Amino acid sequence: MRQFIAEIISIGRLRHRNIVTLLGYCRRKGELLLVYDYMPNGSLDKYLYNQPRVTLSWSLRFGVIKGVAYGLSYLHEGWEQVVIHRDIKASNVLLDSELNARLGDFGLARLYDHGADPRTTHLVGTFGYLAPENTRSARATTSTDVFAFGAFLLEVACGRRPIETRGEEPLILVDWVFSCWDKGDILEARDPNLGTDFVAKEVELVLQLGLLCSQSQPTARPSMRQVVQYLDGDLALEELSYLGISKDKAFSQTSSVANSVLSGGR
C-alpha cells in the first residue's frame, strides 16, 4: 500500500498537455479509486465502435495518434522517472472539450529511475495489446508499451479491435494489415468509414508504423522518441521490406499467443 500511494503521488506530478492530470486518490472500505480531470468527450473507443453515426475524420484521428505519441514519449523519456503505462488502448485515450487526446488511467502504471531495471512480476494489461515477451515473463518495459501503441495505431487507422472473433478463426488485426501490405495495397486496411476523405501518405505511414511497433522482437521496435519523429516527418520511415520485416519473422509469436489464449490457453 505504501508503494502504491508513493507511486500515485509521483504520477500526480506528471504535467503534459496529452496526459490526463491525476488529482488524487480515494480509499474507502478497501476500494481504491483514482480521481482525474474530467474529460467531457469521453473515451476514444466509443467514437470508433459505439457511435456508428459519428465518424471520426482522418485529420482528427491523426491528431489523436500524435497526441498519444507525444504523451507516451514524455512518460518514457521526458520526465524525472520512467513511467510504463502498461494499458495503452483506445478506451484509455480520453478527449477533452476540443477533442485533443489525453492518455489516462494510470492504475497499472509502474515507475522506475532512468537506467534502472523495471521489476514487474505480474502480467497486467489488455489482451490484444500485450507484447509476446510480456506474456512469457510478465516483465513490462518501455518496449512493451511501444508494442501496445502499435496495436493502438492499427486500431485507430482501421477502426477495428486488435483481435476480433469471427466464426471459428479469430481475426488478428496485425496479420490482416500485413497481408494487405504484402500484396501491395496497405490502404485497403483503412477504416472504410473514412470514405475518400483522408491523406493517403499519412494513413500509409500510420499503418506501416503500426506494423513496425508490433514486431515480436523488442529490439526491432522503435522508441517512442523515434515514433514521434516519424509522425512529425522529422525522420523518414524506410520501406518495411528494407527493414527485413516478414510475417514469419515478425508476427508469428503474436499470432500464436493470440490463438492459444482464444482457444483456452493461459
Task: Look at residue 168 and tell me whether its pLDDT is greater than 80.
Answer: no
Is 19 inside any structural domain?
Answer: no
Least Cα distance to 178 among 154, 211, 147 occurs for 211
Buried b (16+ CB within 10 A) or exposed e, 201-237: ebbbbbbbbbbbbbbbebebbbebebbbbbbeeeeeb
> For 202, which DSSP code?
H
Q: Is the pLDDT score of 238 beyond 50? A: yes
- The verdict on residue 9 lying in a domain is no
Concerning whether 117 is annotated as a catalytic residue, the answer is no
Q: Domain with 234 in it: what CATH number?
A: 1.10.510.10
Cα separation of 71 and 228, whole Å? 10
pLDDT of residue 237: 86
Element (H, E) at 82: strand 82-84
Tell whether 247 is covered by a domain. yes
Q: Are 92 and 145 in contact (CB under 8 A)?
A: no
Nearest-5° Cα angle at 259, 136 to 192: 115
The pLDDT confidence band at residue 245, using thresholds 50, 70 and 90, is: low
How far apart CA 249 and CA 61 sit, in angstroms, is 30
Q: How does pLDDT run across 209-222, given as a tens digit for each residue?
A: 999 999 999 999 99
pLDDT tens by residue, 48-78 = 987 655 678 999 999 999 999 999 999 999 9
Residues 6 or more apart whose Cβ sits within 8 Å of residue 132: 216, 253, 254, 257
13 in a domain, yes or no? Answer: no
Give pLDDT, residue 54.
66
Specify the higher pLDDT residue, 133 or 258: 133
Number of structural domains the chain divides into: 1
Range with lowest mean pLDDT among 62-71, 100-109, 167-176, 220-229 = 167-176
**CB-based contacts of 91: which residues, under 8 Å, 6+ apart?**
43, 44, 45
- pLDDT classification of 95: cutoffs 50, 70, 90: very high
Of 37, 45, 87, 182, which is the active-site residue?
A: 87
Residue 2 domain flag = no
pLDDT at 257 over 50: no
Would 5 be classed as within a structural domain?
A: no
45 in any annotated domain: yes
Is the residue at 150 inside a domain? yes
Domain limits for position 199: 39-262
Q: In whole angstroms, what separates CA 265 from the centre of its chain? A: 24
Q: How far apart are the first and last CA of the chain?
A: 28
